[in-house]
Amino acid sequence: MIASFTAPIDISCNPQQFLWAIPLLVIVCFVVRLEKNTVFDGAKIFKETLRLSLCAAGVMVLLALIIFGIVELFC
């Protein structure tokens, strides 16, 4: 067991690995929406969570495209 801490774990960087960020993003947006709302309304929280998740995912994609463009321009 101690030997497992000395050997690095192989983590691939393929595009499918980034799909694991989607459930984390939705959970974080759900918790943020629960903290902001004073009255629990399931439909309203679901819609606001979906909207916030899509906006956050859009910003992440936009930033990834900008960074990709910068890397391609200078490298």
Q: How confident is the model at residue 2 (pLDDT cuts 50, 70, 90)?
A: low
Residue type, 1: M
Structure confidence at residue 54 (pLDDT) = 96
Kindly report the pTM of this predicted structure. Answer: 0.72
pLDDT tens-digit map of 10-57: 667 777 777 888 899 999 999 999 998 878 888 999 999 999 999 999
How is residue 26 written in tokens?
A: 């939705």
Look at residue 16 and give its three-state secondary structure.
Answer: helix
